[in-house]
A and B are shown apart, each in its own frame.
Chain A
């Protein structure tokens, strides 16, 4: 009963409800503008809400977080610039839909599915937080490494053109992620003794450059083409559509919660893994993946919103942040005089249930705001290209700069924009580059931790894998996915199949 009261606190105080609403609304736009991140917004809010009580401050932050994770999909669908890293996978099928005039429909499905994913994440947080956090803690460095390898194998499904070019792009991404001073040993890597290279290359700069700038340059070639008229009559997906995607969205939401709950991995990896999962399990999509398949929207959007609930699990149960945003929220709780940590659940269970309630409310607000503003939003794509291209370029520059207040990042962004432009023309997929950058640190750091822990002994390393059930499961998945993607297996399957039929 007390628990229920704590969840419902938010409804008893209209001021809190209003703040969650404002937060969610602002979050959608913050998420949608590349360069403005939820992390940034929440850390500014710390100073802004400094003199407030803790509940209003948290309400606003929760709203922004939920709205922001969803908002990234907007620009990904409409302009091919993922507003946030977790929306990269959304751009793959969302943007082709907008090109066909189905942006409204794409946003509609995305919104409903984000709501669904968010709901699953919150339910897991509310019902199973202690179990999930205990499970997340059992991940050893070698497990994180295997997870990263699993992620890198997604290159296969992200590169629909030539696989060799995809592998090149993926390896290139990992190398980009290694540039700068190595955070573990401070050794300089690929810096060419230049001071400006020491800080490394901002991942956001690579992302905005490769997706946004190269797309804008691409469109310069057909400036005078009439913009595609967007159909906006069927925004809210029918019940049948939702029912059809229910099994898939349940699976991808689970992926989202687990990846979100792991400290060190977040919505971006979750979304990409979910996209890959969808591609694997969907045998006959109505539209091929990469050309506007609904499944390609459902999977990443359920996963990244489910990851929000997931990220709160270690934060609320152990005081360990699940991602960058929850890390700042922990700081915020400190400033407001609470001690986030394993004792919080015991000392102040109301706080936990209040956050669950606030997340739930933010999720509903997200659905409402998401489904109402679509018409105005889709007008963006119908603007004349002569205006929208310069604006995309300018936003890309400001966005790359804003992440770390660094002009160097702007240069990187421009460089990768031009490079990405050539890659597109010559059939190199861009998705794997981003995937490589995201996974670079996860792979590199954890490989080294794992092998150092085993005193540089590969024998002990593999012994460790085979004696731990979790590592073994991950290892077998890596092998299975790898084998199923290599040409050898495909030809073998063909031969076996022929034998069976003959």
Chain B
């Protein structure tokens, strides 16, 4: 995807949670915009927090929300001002380093997943998602793609739906009847 991949040796992409990305003395493309967005959003949340209970009482439901959103707004503003004074990193662009096509594509996949989950049901949506994304990423034949995606889906489905009885959205598949059929099969065999 990215030919001049910088690897994990320098942490500008935030390779782990304890070591976030960014450069100490330079700003990445979009960083200032992000900071401005955070400042504006924090200010709006501060206004919203004020609306909860105002300044009526120290014990009001809005006291802590107001305090935290105030801290958010101030720190976001400081970050924004500091960022504005830095020089841009040479050679980085949003399209290459922050939001490559593949990332946008997958964010799109996830949104579609969220939208289809309820009407289509978990099994079909997940099958679709796994197949398409493995196909896109692995560049392998359909046989391989389908085998891997459906195989792992069956394992996940059995663990969550059958063993832990998590009621994943059934959608258009008659999932419950299916399970009941096998349950009857077993109990029928036992009795």
Contact residues in B for A425 (Cβ distance below 8 Å):
13-14, 21-22, 28, 97-98
| Among A235-243, A314-322, A447-455, the stretch in contact with B | A447-455
List residues of B (139-191) whose CB comes within 8 Å of A's CBs.
139, 148-149, 152-153, 156, 159-160, 164-169
Contact residues in A for B2 (Cβ distance below 8 Å):
221-222
Q: Are B22 and A426 in contact (CB under 8 A)?
A: yes
Q: Are B17 and A431 in contact (CB under 8 A)?
A: yes
With an 8 A cutoff between CB atoms, is B95 at the interface? no
Q: Which chain A residue has the least Cβ–Cβ distance from B41?
A: A172
Residue from B18, B21, B57, B134 in contact with A93 in the complex, judged by beta carbons closer than 8 Å: B18
With an 8 A cutoff between CB atoms, is A391 at the interface? yes
With an 8 A cutoff between CB atoms, is A218 at the interface? yes
Q: Are B59 and A394 in contact (CB under 8 A)?
A: no
Min CB gap A315→B, angstroms: 24
Q: Are A172 and B72 in contact (CB under 8 A)?
A: yes
Contact residues in A for B64 (Cβ distance below 8 Å):
174, 178, 440, 443-444, 447-448
With an 8 A cutoff between CB atoms, is A277 at the interface? no
With an 8 A cutoff between CB atoms, is A349 at the interface? no
List residues of A (380-418) whose CB comes within 8 Å of B's CBs.
384-387, 389-391, 393-395, 397-398, 401-402, 405, 407, 410-411, 414, 417-418
Q: Are B69 and A390 in contact (CB under 8 A)?
A: no
Contact residues in A for B28 (Cβ distance below 8 Å):
425-426
Chain B interface SS verdict (over half): helix
Chain A interface SS verdict (over half): helix
Q: How far, in whole Å, are A307 and B57 apart by their CA atoms in the complex?
A: 36
Residue from B48, B63, B122, B137 in contact with A192 in the complex, judged by beta carbons closer than 8 Å: B48
Q: Are B107 and A418 in contact (CB under 8 A)?
A: yes
With an 8 A cutoff between CB atoms, is A343 at the interface? no
Q: Are A422 and B34 in contact (CB under 8 A)?
A: yes
Q: Are A162 and B138 in contact (CB under 8 A)?
A: no
With an 8 A cutoff between CB atoms, is A421 at the interface? yes
With an 8 A cutoff between CB atoms, is B55 at the interface? no
Contact residues in B for A221 (Cβ distance below 8 Å):
1-2, 5, 13, 100, 102-103
Contact count band on A: 35 or more
Q: Are A291 and B69 in contact (CB under 8 A)?
A: no
| Among A179-187, A468-476, A492-500, the stretch in contact with B | A179-187
Min CB gap A294→B, angstroms: 14
Min CB gap A25→B, angstroms: 14
With an 8 A cutoff between CB atoms, is A427 at the interface? yes
Contact count band on B: 35 or more
Contact residues in B for A164 (Cβ distance below 8 Å):
75, 78-79, 82
With an 8 A cutoff between CB atoms, is B130 at the interface? yes
Kindly supply a per-residue 1/0 record for chain B positions 74-113, scoring 1 wherever the CB is within 8 Å of any chain A CB and 0 otherwise: 0110110010000000000000011010110011001101
With an 8 A cutoff between CB atoms, is A171 at the interface? yes
Q: Which chain B residue has the least Cβ–Cβ distance from A174?
A: B68
With an 8 A cutoff between CB atoms, is A217 at the interface? yes
| Known interface pairs A175-B72, A402-B164; A414-B17 also in contact (CB < 8 Å) | no
| Known interface pairs A387-B148, A394-B156; A222-B14 also in contact (CB < 8 Å) | no
Q: Are B20 and A423 in contact (CB under 8 A)?
A: yes
Min CB gap A431→B, angstroms: 5
| Known interface pairs A167-B75, A190-B49, A411-B114; A390-B65 also in contact (CB < 8 Å) | no
Q: Which chain A residue has the least Cβ–Cβ distance from B75?
A: A168
Q: Which chain B residue has the least Cβ–Cβ distance from A421?
A: B103
Contact residues in B for A216 (Cβ distance below 8 Å):
106
Q: Are A220 and B160 in contact (CB under 8 A)?
A: no
Q: Are A175 and B68 in contact (CB under 8 A)?
A: yes
Min CB gap B111→A, angstroms: 7
23 A-B Cβ contacts within 8 A?
Answer: A92-B16, A96-B18, A99-B15, A99-B16, A160-B20, A165-B79, A171-B69, A175-B72, A217-B107, A220-B137, A221-B5, A222-B2, A223-B137, A394-B126, A397-B110, A402-B160, A424-B14, A424-B21, A425-B14, A427-B31, A431-B17, A444-B64, A456-B57
Given contacts A424-B13, A448-B61, 6 further A-B contacts (CB under 8 A): A160-B18, A190-B48, A221-B103, A291-B19, A386-B134, A394-B126
* B residues apposed to A, CB below 8 Å: 1-2, 5, 8, 13-24, 28, 30-31, 34-35, 38, 45, 48-49, 52-53, 57-59, 61-65, 68-69, 71-72, 75-76, 78-79, 82, 97-98, 100, 102-103, 106-107, 110-111, 113-114, 117-118, 122, 126, 129-130, 133-134, 137-139, 148-149, 152-153, 156, 159-160, 164-169
Nearest first, the 9 closest Cβ-Cβ pairs linking A and B are: A427-B22, A424-B14, A290-B18, A386-B137, A386-B138, A168-B75, A187-B61, A171-B71, A390-B133
